[in-house]
Structure 1
Amino acid sequence: MKLLLDANISWRIIKLVENDFSDCLHTKDIKITQPAKDLEIWEFAKQNNFTILTHDDDFEKLLLLKGAPPKVIILKTFNKNTKQIAELLISKREIIESFISNQDLMILEIY
């Protein structure tokens, strides 16, 4: 599962979820101008077959405007720390895998 974590999600999550999500990158680690702009993140994800993981509703707007790929997972996890978000992602692993493999779905919200 190729997940690209947006800048608004801590890069520390990657270490916490690497056993369940082995192919994760953070936007700070990709070769685009930093700080990364949403459209640049979008294009990188599209060209490299990543699903974007974000808190940012702007990616939902891009998805409606441009269509998939890439797919977008929006975390609606307010007031959760990095460890809690990592645990939530791990607990939703099967749902995330199913979402990514389903060609008919474009967006997934996780609460």
Structure 2
Amino acid sequence: MKLLLDATISWRLIKLIENDFSNCFHSNDIQVNQPAKDLEIWEFAKKNNFTILTHDDDFEKLLLLKGAPPKVIILKTFNQNTKQISELLVSKKQALEAFILNNELMILEIY
């Protein structure tokens, strides 16, 4: 499962989930001008077959405007720290995998 974490998500999350989600990158680590803009993250994810993981509703707007791919997972995890978010993602791993494999779905919100 290829996840690209938006700048709104801590880069520290990768270390916490790497055993369960081995192919994750942070937007700080991709080959675009930094700080990466939403559209640059979008284009990188599309070109490299990533699903975007974000807190940012702007990616939902991009999805509605441009369509998938890439797919978008929006975390609606208000006031949760990075450790809590990692635990949530690991607990929902099967649902995330099913979402990514389902060609009819474009967006997933996680609460």
Q: Shared fold (TM-score greater than 0.5)?
A: yes
Q: How far apart in 2 are the matches of 1:43 and 1:84?
A: 29
Shift of 1:79: 0.3
Structure 2, unaligned stretches of length 5 or more? none
SS at match of 1:16: helix
Q: Does 1:66 align with 2:66?
A: yes
Query: What's the % identity of the aligned pairs?
Result: 80
| 1:15 shift after superposition | 0.6
Q: Aligned-pair distance for 1:6?
A: 0.2
C-alpha deviation, 1:36, in angstroms = 0.5
Instruction: Report what 1:32 is aligned to.
Output: 32
Secondary structure of the residue aligned to 2:74 is strand
Query: How far did 1:57 drift?
Result: 0.1
Q: CA RMSD of the aligned region, Å?
A: 0.3
What secondary structure, in the 3-state scheme, does the structure 1 residue paired with 2:108 have? strand
Aligned to 1:77: 77
Using the size of structure 2 for normalisation, the TM-score is: 0.99
CA displacement at 1:7 relative to structure 2:
0.3
Task: Give the secondary structure class of the aligned counterpart of 1:33.
Answer: coil
Structure 2 CA distance for aligned equivalents of residues 55 and 15 of structure 1: 18
Matched, 1:52 2:52: yes
Q: Residue 108 in 1 paired to residue 105 in 2?
A: no
TM-score normalised by length of structure 1: 0.99
Q: Note the C-alpha offset of 1:38.
A: 0.3
* Equivalent position of 1:90 in the other structure: 90
Aligned to 1:23: 23
